[in-house]
Amino acid sequence: MSIQIPRGTQDILPGQVEKWQYIEQKARALCNNYQYKEIRTPIFEQTELFLRGVGDTTDIVQKEMYTFEDRGGRSLTLRPEGTAAVVRSYIENKMYGDPNQPIKLFYMGPMFRYERPQAGRYRQFVQFGVEALGSQDPAIDAEVISLAMKLYESLGLKNIQLVINSLGDKESRLAHREALINHFQPRIGEFCSDCQKRLEKNPLRILDCKKDRDHELMATAPSILDYLNEESKRYFDKVQEYLTLLNIPFTVDSTLVRGLDYYNHTAFEIMSNAEGFGAITTLCGGGRYNGLVEEIGGPETPGIGFALSIERLLAALEAEGIELPVEETIDCYIVTLGDKAKDYAVKLLSDLRAEGISAEKDYMDRKMKAQFKAADRMKAQFVAILGEDELEKEVINVKQMATGEQEEVSLSQLIPYIKQRTS
């Protein structure tokens, strides 16, 4: 059998990759605008980091990690998400001691989860994420959310919806946890084996179960919002106030719990409402994780962030019929006739490129007509035509493809001629 690409992964080929680059550039520019700095962490980490960071009751840790032993007998895991690694690096590099607080970081890169592949769900996918560490100000929650919304808006998406919830602080969560246990315990036998395990370890995750989502006890489960203490309530109100101030529409959904263990206070997701968008509608997820830095061995530090995948963003753009402005063109294509001109073009091409002009020539021994076709396919703005006669006279014929206009230009003037008309 021939060798094929692994399930749940994809090749991003020329023609498609320009869209990725466009989105990546937008995200980078936005982060610069909001003053989030790039961080690059390894693709693999000690497995222990994710057990502690992501949480051992999560689907990610229980079923989805690519974990392997290296030749030195260490257990390593391909990162399933970015937050735990950023927090590890934050602690290891003592960023909490930096006078510039909060520490605002972003990352972009592949993540790995052994999930069942389907539309919008891959085993290797690229997340763009941001994390703000060190601030407990609800305004930073609003800033982080607004950055994600801005990216979608700036790419032209219209059918997106922000959903927020509060998971409260420790005290609120404990009160809610008890209420959940009391609610589900008498009939836990009717739930899946995962939920039965979750009951004691993390009953909140029961609300996120896909198998039991239609069980009648789900709809009547106690809402976290009824268990928020004063401080948590005030915090959540303030986040909403800031979102309103920033003109960001949102809905509150008390059943939004997120699939990772580290959240408290603000939790949010951004969904696509576009018609024809697949079953998985979540484009982006994030929230506050005030206990995570301590959990991984650092000082008590609040944090908030989000991550979104470029794959789902592209799917949303497609569902809304949005074409990104990524048409590739080149400045100049050199068409030659005869061996002398062909040789001369080697140096001419190099000179054009050295001046920052994007240029190409034929390498396939094509006839003139086929060279013109190649220039067309590359969407060349100018075609410079060189034959033996021209070479003798030290001129070249330059055709502007958009207008069809053709001019004879002195060879020594070709570079300024093209430069003037393409910049």
Binding site for ligand HAM (CB under 6 A): 81-83, 113, 115, 120-122, 125, 127, 129, 131, 259-260, 282-287, 289, 305-309, 311-312
User: What's the half-sphere exposure (Cβ side, CA atoms, 13 Å) at 210?
Assistant: 5
Please report which residue ranges of 155-271 form alpha helices under DSSP H: 170-184, 193-201, 216-219, 230-245
d(CA 291, CA 202): 16
Taking the least distance from each CB to ligand HAM, the nearer of 81 and 169 is: 81
Taking the least distance from each CB to ligand HAM, the nearer of 83 and 336 is: 83
Residue 375 tokens read as 């220039």
Taking the least distance from each CB to ligand HAM, the nearer of 111 and 385 is: 111
Peptide bond before residue 299 is cis, with ω within 30 degrees of 0: no
Least separation in angstroms between CB 263 and ligand HAM: 7
Other Cβ atoms less than 10 A from the Cβ of 316: the count is 26
Taking the least distance from each CB to ligand HAM, the nearer of 119 and 354 is: 119
* Residue 293 backbone zone (phi > 0: left; psi -120 to 50: alpha; other: beta): alpha
Report the first-to-last Cα separation within the chain, whole angstroms.
Answer: 51
Least separation in angstroms between CB 95 and ligand HAM: 16
Least separation in angstroms between CB 372 and ligand HAM: 43
- Distance (Å) of CA 24 to CA 30, 40, 139, 151, 152: 10, 15, 26, 10, 12
Taking the least distance from each CB to ligand HAM, the nearer of 228 and 271 is: 271
Least separation in angstroms between CB 191 and ligand HAM: 23
Q: Which residue's C-beta sits nearest to ligand HAM?
A: 305
Taking the least distance from each CB to ligand HAM, the nearer of 106 and 344 is: 106
Taking the least distance from each CB to ligand HAM, the nearer of 307 and 359 is: 307
Least separation in angstroms between CB 423 and ligand HAM: 38
d(CA 163, CA 268): 6
Taking the least distance from each CB to ligand HAM, the nearer of 10 and 254 is: 10
Least separation in angstroms between CB 113 and ligand HAM: 5
Specify the amino acid at residue 13.
L
Least separation in angstroms between CB 374 and ligand HAM: 37
Phi first, then psi, for residue 64 (nearest 5°) are -115, 0
* Residue 310 backbone zone (phi > 0: left; psi -120 to 50: alpha; other: beta): alpha
Least separation in angstroms between CB 270 and ligand HAM: 8
d(CA 184, CA 199): 8
Tokens 């896909």 found at: 210
